[in-house]
Homo-oligomer: A and B are copies of this chain.
């Protein structure tokens, strides 16, 4: 890899999420990126570990939520000071990316950012890094925003899709994953459309991972989201010690919008690299079951679990015994103060429980 690119690589980990899909293990004050899922390290720690051969710790930035400060300190003690940016509140990905891009551009606007969520699963980290390297080269040479597109393996309705020109994917495949011009970003489809996308061969899952020069993404934010760009541009030359106070003041006024919707669907500088390294956003207990190694009865058991005549179950205990008899295709998740039980395939409905807890004002359990 070109030296002038290599020295400009920066990783940006978006770790501000507070999702509810892993309730009752994930909580507002302890969201999924801090959970040890499929590993004895947290998803955030695994994300960092995966990036270290590409960007040493000093080139890794984390954008998180102020409420989780203690968790960052505990899990990532080596990331501190200006490389850990704590938002006073979540304002979706566009604000997060604009903020960190302004800060990193202070050193060099030509710095190339790997922008990625803190809570994804990657099966083949070597191939993942190789894909990021190629994306960085394309982003640098072409002044493009290169997204990582996952070749779909089933007609998923839970992901957005990226459409690339049909003729573009029909060429010879070399060893390197091909880079395409993006024709369109497509919102989460219904099953019918998802099946058509899968069959077409030129639709890819939107992984939410972007590679771009700081200057390029800032130009596009300026163009399509001036209401975000203008208030934040002060970050370009504010004193480091004043950043927290500035964000505290400015964040409540920012629009809450995703970078996909606010920028990627509109820009003509989007490209996509085919990203075939085994990927999951581990978006539900079902996804976790699918990713986990299983025993002879297709069960996944974690912690103090006793199963009698059970098949196809995900059972996780937390310091207490969970005993199942005659269960088929069930999910049982135990935490210190709550236990969740549901059939596999229903784990999207976890949010209904969370909504009920909100309705009832049971904040301790959120």
Q: Which residues of A contact B (CB under 8 A)?
A: 24, 306, 308-309, 317, 320-327, 330, 332, 334, 336-343, 346, 349-350, 352-353, 356-357, 362, 365
Q: Which chain B residue lies CB-closest to A327?
A: B341
The distance from the CB of A330 to the nearest CB of chain B, in whole angstroms, is: 7
Let me know if A321 and B339 touch, CB within 8 A.
yes
Q: Which chain B residue lies CB-closest to A335?
A: B320
CA distance A348 to B308 in the complex (A): 12
- CB neighbours (8 Å) of A338 from chain B are 320-323
Let me know if B306 and A356 touch, CB within 8 A.
yes
Closest 5 A/B residue pairs (Cβ): A325-B342, A321-B338, A326-B346, A323-B353, A325-B349
CA distance A323 to B356 in the complex (A): 10
12 contacts between A and B (CB under 8 A): A24-B321, A24-B323, A308-B349, A321-B337, A321-B338, A323-B338, A323-B341, A325-B353, A327-B341, A327-B343, A332-B339, A334-B339
Supposing A24-B323, A321-B365, A325-B346 touch, asked if A341 and B332 sit within 8 A by C-beta, the answer is yes
Let me know if B339 and A323 touch, CB within 8 A.
yes
Q: Which chain B residue lies CB-closest to A364?
A: B321
- CB < 8 Å: which of B326, B336, B353, B356 contacts A343? B326
CA distance A93 to B173 in the complex (A): 81
Let me know if A330 and B341 touch, CB within 8 A.
yes
- CB neighbours (8 Å) of A320 from chain B are 336-339
Tally of this chain's copies: 2
CA distance A339 to B338 in the complex (A): 11
Let me know if B24 and A352 touch, CB within 8 A.
no
CA distance A70 to B306 in the complex (A): 31
Let me know if B326 and A349 touch, CB within 8 A.
yes
- CB neighbours (8 Å) of A350 from chain B are 325
The distance from the CB of A329 to the nearest CB of chain B, in whole angstroms, is: 11
Q: Which chain B residue lies CB-closest to A337?
A: B320
- CB neighbours (8 Å) of A324 from chain B are 340-342
- CB neighbours (8 Å) of A325 from chain B are 340-343, 346, 349-350, 352-353
The distance from the CB of A310 to the nearest CB of chain B, in whole angstroms, is: 9
- CB neighbours (8 Å) of A323 from chain B are 24, 338-341, 353
The distance from the CB of A289 to the nearest CB of chain B, in whole angstroms, is: 15
Supposing A308-B352, A352-B308, A356-B306 touch, asked if A339 and B327 sit within 8 A by C-beta, the answer is no
- CB neighbours (8 Å) of A352 from chain B are 308, 325
- CB neighbours (8 Å) of A341 from chain B are 322-325, 327, 330, 332, 341
CA distance A348 to B78 in the complex (A): 54
CA distance A109 to B341 in the complex (A): 57
The distance from the CB of A190 to the nearest CB of chain B, in whole angstroms, is: 21
CA distance A330 to B313 in the complex (A): 15
CA distance A146 to B216 in the complex (A): 94
CA distance A58 to B334 in the complex (A): 47
